[in-house]
């Protein structure tokens, strides 16, 4: 048995070693099968293969990253603001201050998927709080300075809606479009959104800002209060009942159509 297995493995090894590899598409086959294989491929030069395997990043992207790490002088900031204001079409322009600080407007897309807790009116001696969904795909416009950080922008946005949730539950993201691809990246709390807006220009495809929940991979229930958790349960119960009602309506209609088809068939 051992000798037979040894001969078999040697035969297989010889069969595998006798193979042919295409120069263009790198298709590998046995030498004995080469004449039976037909491929619709074209030869590719070695230089092209090397370039495909080691494609450098686009030059403009590299230069843009270097520019974002630079410290600009007041004169450079002034030139960039003038260029920015000449390109903007919605009158949301920037203004340079006397000490190098500048102010301007940013648009932030509200993309919150979970309900928020909002401070409402007074009920007796206490302030009423209510949880509901904020409208999605709504752009909020903020007037900020070049010193405002992403964390401060998050706080300002929540304050506009009187949201009392912990601001740490939310984060500001930047979204860029490059060559038909969309990239989303979370901003560090110390980053300055107006500075990024100035570098990218007014085009929203080059850079847009989005407010979202923190992407932690799982919900941190300890960060919510008891009233918030109860509101979540009420919302889940409502959504569950809506799904059940939709299923009942769907299958009730299906039953009626089946019964009608049976009656027509009998007639």
- Give me the count of residues in the chain: 267
> What distances in angstroms separate CA 62 from CA 31, 73, 196, 246, one per listed residue?
46, 21, 16, 52
pLDDT, position 55: 40
Per-residue buried b or exposed e for 221-246, using 16+ beta carbons within 10 Å of the residue's own CB: eeebeeebeebbeeeeeeeeeeeeee
What pLDDT, in 10s, does the model give residues 173-188? Answer: 998 887 778 888 889 9
What pLDDT, in 10s, does the model give residues 28-71? Answer: 555 655 665 554 454 444 433 344 444 444 444 434 444 455 67
| pLDDT for residue 4 is more than 50 | no
What are the residue boundaries of the structural domains of the chain, listed by start?
Answer: 74-213, 234-266
Residue 69 in tokens: 């790490």
Write down the CATH number for the domain with range 74-213. 3.10.20.90
**Whole-angstrom distance, CA of residue 146 vs CA of residue 102:** 6
**Whole-angstrom distance, CA of residue 95 vs CA of residue 102:** 5
Confidence of residue 15 (pLDDT cuts 50, 70, 90): very low
| pLDDT for residue 20 is more than 90 | no
> What distances in angstroms separate CA 39 from CA 44, 48, 87, one per listed residue?
14, 20, 52
Rounded to an integer, the average pLDDT of 197-201 is 92
């Amino acid at each position: 048995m051992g000798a037979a297995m040894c001969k078999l493995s040697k035969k297989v090894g010889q069969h595998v070693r006798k193979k042919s590899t295409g120069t263009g598409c790198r298709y590998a086959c046995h030498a004995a099968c080469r004449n039976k294989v037909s491929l619709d491929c074209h030869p590719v030069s070695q230089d092209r293969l090397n370039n495909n395997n080691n494609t450098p990043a686009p030059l403009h992207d590299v230069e843009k990253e270097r520019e974002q790490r630079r410290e600009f002088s007041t004169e450079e900031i002034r030139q960039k603001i003038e260029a920015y204001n000449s390109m903007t079409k919605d009158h949301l322009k920037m203004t340079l201050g006397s000490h190098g600080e500048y102010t301007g407007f940013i648009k932030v897309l509200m993309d919150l998927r979970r309900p928020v807790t909002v401070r409402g009116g007074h009920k007796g001696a206490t302030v009423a709080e209510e949880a509901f969904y904020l409208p999605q795909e709504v752009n909020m416009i903020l007037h900020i300075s070049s010193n405002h950080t992403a964390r401060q922008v998050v706080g300002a946005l929540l304050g506009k809606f009187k949201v009392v949730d912990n601001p740490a539950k939310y984060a500001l993201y930047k979204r860029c479009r490059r060559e038909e691809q969309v990239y989303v990246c979370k901003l560090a709390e110390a980053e300055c959104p107006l500075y990024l807006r100035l570098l990218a220009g007014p085009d929203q495809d080059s850079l847009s800002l989005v407010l979202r929940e923190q992407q932690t991979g799982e919900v941190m229930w300890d960060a919510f209060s008891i009233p918030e958790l109860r509101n979540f349960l009420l919302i889940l119960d409502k959504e569950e009942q809506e799904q059940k009602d939709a299923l009942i309506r769907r299958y009730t209609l299906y039953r009626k159509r089946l019964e009608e088809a049976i009656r027509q068939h009998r007639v």
